[in-house]
Amino acid sequence: MFEQTFKNIDDTLWKDAGCSSELDYVEQTSWVLFLKYLDDLEKDKATAAELTGKIYTNIISPEFQWTKWAAPKLKSGKIDHNALTGDDLVDFVNGKLFPYLKKIKTDAEHADTIEYKIGEIFSELKNRIQSGYNLREVINNIDQLRFRTHKEKHEMSHLYEAKIKNMGNAGRNGGEYYTPRPLIKTIVKVVAPEIGNKIYDGAVGSAGFLCESFEYLKNKGKDGTSSVSKLTTADTERLQKNTFYGKEKKSLAYIIGIMNMILHGVEAPNIIHTNTLAENLADIQEKDRYDIVLANPPFGGKRESRSATKLPDKNRRNRFPVFTALY
C-alpha cells in the first residue's frame, strides 16, 4: 500500500506548477509525511502515558494538529468534505502552519529534542505546492499511511530510502544525497561499531551511514533467534541521544537526513545544519571528538574561499580538504 501511495503522490506533484523534479517531489512529500508521522507519534506517546497513569502534553497545539487542519474525520472515519482545500488550504499552510512550526524550537529545552528539530526543519522548508487542490490530494494520500507498528515504520523507512535513491539519480549532484545502501552496509559491517561509540558523519547527506549504524547496533542487541531486542533501557537511551552525530551544509539534504533518521527510529537526530569546512580545526577540543567517522563526502564542486582559512596551512591546498576536517 505504501508504495502505491507514494506513486499517487508523485503523480499529483507532477501536475503541480511548483514542483518540477524528483528533488521537489521528495522535499514536498517529506514535510507532509513528517507531520503525519508526528501525529501518530503523539498518539503513541499519549497511549503510553495513559497506561502508566500519566498525562501527556502534546507538542503541537490543537489548531495545528493533523486531525484538525489536514484530516478532520467524520464518524465514519472518512475525511470531512469540509476540510480545507484550494486557496484556503494554501493560505493556512503558508500563512499560519509554517510560521507556527518554525517558532516551536524557541520553546524547546535542548537542541536534541524533537521540538527543536521541528523548528529546524520548518525553518529550512517552504511549501512549493501551488495548487491547494493538489495539496489536498497529497494530504489525503498520506493520511492513509500508518506509523504505529514496528513493521509499518520499517516498511516506510525502506520506501523513503528508495525515494532518496531516485532523487539521487535525478541530477548530476545526486551523490550529495545518496550513497548506495550495499556499500554503506559493507562499510558499517567492516568497521563494526559498538554500543557506547560516538559515530560521526561530517557530510551527512541523507544520513545513510547513521541510519545503517543504528540498525546494526539495534540488531547486535538481539540474540539471533528472536526479533525482540535484548538492549537494556540504558542502551536504548544511549542510541537515541548520545551515539549518532552529523553535519550537513545543504538545506534539502539536511532536512532529508533528519527525516530519514526519524523514520528509522531516532526521534531527535543530532544533525546540525552547518558547513563542516567552515569550522576552525584549532578550536576543536577533546569533548568534540568521536570514536568513529563514517562518511562519503562530496569530491566535486568548489568550497567557499573563507572555508580554506579554517584549515591548517599545510592543508589549504589539499584537493580533498573535507578529509582534513573529518579525520
Split at pLDDT 50, 70, 90, the class of 168 is low
Q: What pLDDT does 278 receive?
A: 83
Q: Are residues 200 and 307 in the same domain?
A: yes
3-state SS class at 271: strand
* Per-residue pLDDT reduced to its tens digit, 304-326: 555 555 555 544 444 445 544 55
Q: What percent of the chain has pLDDT over 70?
A: 85
Q: What is the mean pLDDT of residues 169-196?
A: 80
The CATH number for 248's domain is 3.40.50.150
Q: Are residues 103 and 157 in the same domain?
A: no
Q: Are residues 128 and 162 in the same domain?
A: no
pLDDT at 285 over 80: yes
Q: Are residues 122 and 161 in the same domain?
A: no
List C-alpha distances in Å: 228 to 122, 138, 218, 224, 267: 35, 35, 10, 9, 20
Sheet containing 270-273: give its strands across.
270-273, 244-248, 199-201, 292-293
pLDDT at 229 over 50: yes
Q: Domain range spanning residue 21?
A: 1-148
Q: What is the mean pLDDT of residues 34-59?
A: 92
Split at pLDDT 50, 70, 90, the class of 236 is very high
pLDDT at 61 over 90: yes
Split at pLDDT 50, 70, 90, the class of 153 is confident
What is the C-alpha to C-alpha distance for residues 274 and 238, in angstroms, rounded to an integer?
24
Q: Are residues 141 and 153 in the same domain?
A: no
Q: Using CA of residue 75, residue 77, residue 82, residue 88, what is the dihedral sign?
A: positive
Residue 61 CB neighbours (<10 A): 10
Q: Are residues 92 and 129 in the same domain?
A: yes
Q: Are residues 138 and 221 in the same domain?
A: no
pLDDT at 94 over 80: yes
What is the C-alpha to C-alpha distance for residues 209 and 191, in angstroms, rounded to an integer?
11
Mean pLDDT of the chain: 84
What is the C-alpha to C-alpha distance for residues 304 and 113, in angstroms, rounded to an integer?
31
Q: Which of 48-57, 67-76, 250-259 has the lowest mean pLDDT?
A: 250-259
CB 213 within 8 A of CB 260: no
3-state SS class at 105: helix
Q: What pLDDT does 319 receive?
A: 45
Backbone angles phi, psi at 235, to 5 degrees: -65, -45
All cell numbers assigned to 182: 550495499
Query: Which positions ≥6 away from 237 have C-beta within 8 Å?
Result: none
What residue type is 16 in one-letter code? D
User: What are the CB-based long-range contacts (under 8 Å, 24+) for 116-119?
Assistant: 116/268, 117/258, 117/262, 117/268, 117/269, 118/38, 118/59
Q: What pLDDT does 317 receive?
A: 47
The one-character DSSP state at 58 is P
Q: Are residues 309 and 160 in the same domain?
A: yes
Domain count, the chain: 2
Instruction: Report the range out of 119-133, 158-172, 209-223 with the highest average pLDDT.
Output: 119-133
All cell numbers assigned to 129: 505546492
Q: Are residues 136 and 154 in the same domain?
A: no
Structure-model confidence comparison of residues 73 and 222, the more confident one: 73
- Give the residue from 167, 171, 129, 162 showing the smallest Cα distance to 22: 167
pLDDT at 151 over 80: no
What is the C-alpha to C-alpha distance for residues 304 and 307, in angstroms, rounded to an integer?
5
pLDDT at 292 over 90: yes
Q: Are residues 27 and 76 in the same domain?
A: yes
Residue 54 CB neighbours (<10 A): 11
Q: Are residues 135 and 168 in the same domain?
A: no
Please identify, among 148, 173, 194, the residue that sits at the C-terminal boundary of a domain. Answer: 148
Q: Are residues 272 and 322 in the same domain?
A: yes
Please identify, among 148, 178, 213, the residue that sits at the C-terminal boundary of a domain. Answer: 148
The CATH number for 29's domain is 1.20.1260.30
Please identify, among 120, 148, 176, the residue that sits at the C-terminal boundary of a domain. Answer: 148
